[in-house]
Chains A and B, each alone.
Chain A
Amino acid sequence: MTPKHADLAEQFITDEPRTNWHDETLWFVREKRDKAVHGIPEWEDLREWGSQIKNHSLSNLSQYLKEFEEKATANGIQIHWAATGEEHNQIIHKIIQKNNIQRIVKSKSMLTEECHLNDYLEHRGIEVVDSDLGERIVQFRKEAPSHIVLPAIHLKKQDVSETFHEHLNTEKGNNDPQYLTEAARGHLRDKFVESELSITGVNFAIAETGGFVVCTNEGNADMGAHSAAVHIACMGFEKIIPKAEHLAVFLRLLARSATGQPITTFSSHFQKPRDGQEMHIVIVDNGRSTQLGREDFRNSLKCIRCAACFNTCPVYRRSGGHSYHTSTAGPIGSILNPNLDMKANSDLPFASTLCGSCTNVCPVKINIHEQLWKWRQEIVKNGYVDTTKKIGMNGMAVLFSYPAIYRLTGKIGRWVMRVVPFITNNQLNPWYKQREMPKPPKESFRDWYKKNGNSQKN
């Protein structure tokens, strides 16, 4: 059974200084985002446009995807369609085999994480080198990324230093970021130069032109794609936007929301293969059409993967990304993952206080907290809920339907807490573990009101 968010989070928090550091680092990014967006008077309009363009695209998906396929094919790109993550992996595997390729670099793509491409290829004896710095670090450590934009944000420089010492033979105990980055740079340079195949993600695919855009801060997507003879770009089908002019909206939204930068350092536009190069695009469904069909949740497909909802989420910041036990963590992961596997991810929609910060920070206005609430109802309806919780809730329903029972229970409850507090004040009560119980008064407000309320008026 998958460990649950609450337990993994509890483990994470046992190291409180590290939790504070994680929280503060991500809050720093959130504040950078605030500074960047508050300088733009039309920010809320941009969000609205972004949201509407995505809404329009999702409502006319087949038309735009067809248009994209036609234009891209005319440009000399080969288009593949994958219904599942497995199919996506098979398609890529075939291209590798056909070209008899040994050396592969990949730039960061959450879709390939979602499809577990690295594992798939590794099982077939093929090694893929992740070329994003953070991604390379977690790859060395055989971990999953903990954040979709900052994959190694859960690690400190000491951790990176140890990892590089083990894998790149850097000086032990040298934690200097400059030194470590140089080492990674040298290592990755070699990989880029040697690479025969480059795999990238897609941030935006443009129906009108058949081209696509990949955004990175390290330029690693370009380095890979420009030197390799084969370029495979993988995209979830929701990445489609109608026209090139719409990029103006999304590129402004994406970088500011992600890191507080005005624009991502590299926004690379790919239109056609260069002479002698092969270019492929794999368009993946993997549950997306099911989500599109779930009216309450289709909005989640607007996501441009900026991770602003991660950085703002007070639960994410204090529980780390691995506590979400899926490739896409955070608030958006909590509404996307139950679609892929409701049972295994039935805990995720509950890993939120429903504070609503995610919804309001989201550059494409996804109603994340409302969807979390709706997923909770779905999950209970489908029976993925603890029996004890179910019994408790049924009891509560009776309690609140019958005022006399409610009052009697309240009275007894308060009496018990006053007279025999150890019944509630024990380690089996999760409230009491780190919090005192409220001090129960002798009379409820209603009791007081019956005695004093009306006399006060007269």
Chain B
Amino acid sequence: MKVALFIPCYIDQFYPNVGIASLQLLEKLGCDVSFPLEQTCCGQPMANSGFASLSKGCDANFVKNFRGFDYIVAPSGSCVLHVKEHLHDDKNPLEAEKIRNSVYELTEFLTDILKVKNINARFPFKVGLHNSCHGQRMLNLSSMSERVLPAFSKPQDLLNMVQDIQLIKPKRNDECCGFGGTFCVFEEAVSVKMGKDRISEHQANDVDYITGVDSSCLMHLEGILNRQGNKIKTIHIAEILNSSL
């Protein structure tokens, strides 16, 4: 199974550990993983700001890098969603379509494709799970409180396989953290207020870590936590699943 690892730009630049954990995890689970070296970004920052028209070059580069793989896996629900919904390339429409249909968020890939039943990991901490919206509501990684459907959660199932972890849900289990891409700077006040409110619910649970499937949400929460001098840390789910503390 040829798997390409897609490491979104801000993870590449700011959170290399998330990339490393994702790579090691996939390899441990028997995947033949490559990291196409000329990859950059999925184009979401432009598209969500109304500039989808500017993403042609970015899209073409994405297609060039990720053609010819069985699966493309990324540790970011939001970027995966963007590729799934909006990747187009006039010169290679079929390749683009194939990519749209074979791109997976990491936990989704572990659950639905690899059908992982055991994970050899240990993480002896109290952890609060943040449900990132794009993964949850649009990639269907977990059920949501708005809909009347049976409850499930792929990230939670995986975390439950980790030894000695104590998983605690915040009171409002699936409210947005307020990151929202460029929203976090153009609507700074609301964005920060939303982030603060998420944090205080996790704080009430006295967690050591907040985890999730999107480093972008975690980066935003981390920024607020650090400004508050709060001792709660953020950690991407790949790092927990790859952890052997």
Contact = CB atoms under 8 A, between A and B. Distances in A.
Contacts, number: 222
Interface in B11-63: 11-16, 18-20, 23-24, 27, 35, 37-41, 43, 45-58, 60-61
Given A23-B197, A445-B7, 12 more contacts: A350-B50, A353-B176, A353-B178, A357-B144, A360-B144, A360-B146, A380-B53, A385-B50, A397-B54, A400-B40, A448-B19, A449-B23
Interface stretch (A113-121, A146-154, A273-281, A432-440): A432-440
B146 A361 contact: yes
Given A397-B46, A448-B19, A435 B192 contact: yes
Interface of A: 5-6, 9-10, 13, 16, 19-20, 23, 27, 34, 37-38, 40-41, 43-44, 312, 314-315, 318-319, 350-357, 359-361, 373, 376-377, 379-381, 385, 389-390, 393-394, 396-403, 406, 410, 413-414, 430-431, 433-441, 443-450, 453, 456-457
A430 B144 CA distance: 31
B49 A393 contact: yes
Given A354-B180, A434-B192, A457 B43 contact: no
Interface of B: 7, 9, 11-16, 18-20, 23-24, 27, 35, 37-41, 43, 45-58, 60-61, 133-134, 137-138, 144-149, 172, 174-176, 178-181, 183-195, 197, 219-220, 222-224, 226-227
**Most B-side CB within 10 Å, residue of A355, A441, A456:** A355
Contacts of A445: 7, 11-12, 15-16, 18-20, 35
Pairs A-B, 3 closest by C-beta atoms = A401-B57, A353-B180, A435-B223
Given A393-B46, A394-B54, A406-B41, A436 B226 contact: yes
A13 B189 contact: yes
Given A13-B193, A44-B147, A385-B50, A457 B188 contact: no
A51 to B, nearest CB: 14
24 contacts: A6-B187, A6-B190, A44-B149, A315-B190, A353-B178, A353-B180, A353-B194, A357-B175, A377-B50, A381-B53, A400-B9, A400-B43, A400-B57, A401-B60, A402-B61, A410-B12, A433-B188, A433-B192, A435-B224, A437-B223, A445-B15, A445-B19, A446-B7, A446-B37
Contacts of A431: 184-185, 188, 223
A6 B186 contact: yes
Contact of B194 (A318, A359, A436, A456): A318
B48 A435 contact: no
Given A6-B186, A41-B148, A403 B176 contact: no
Dominant secondary structure of chain B at its interface with chain A: helix
Contact of A6 (B46, B189, B219, B223): B189
Contacts of B222: 436, 438
Contact of A314 (B19, B178, B227): B178
A292 B16 CA distance: 48
Given A13-B193, A400-B57, A448-B16, A376 B49 contact: yes
Contact of A434 (B146, B148, B188): B188
A393 B54 CA distance: 8
Contact of B23 (A319, A414, A443, A453): A453
B147 A360 contact: yes
A10 B192 CA distance: 10
A435 B51 contact: no
Nearest to B149: A44
A37 B149 CA distance: 11
A376 B186 CA distance: 14
Nearest to A33: B146
B180 A434 contact: no
Given A314-B194, A406-B9, A446-B12, A435 B187 contact: no
A41 B149 CA distance: 9
A64 B58 CA distance: 48
Contacts of A441: 14-16
B148 A355 contact: no
Given A10-B188, A13-B189, A400 B49 contact: no
Nearest to B221: A435
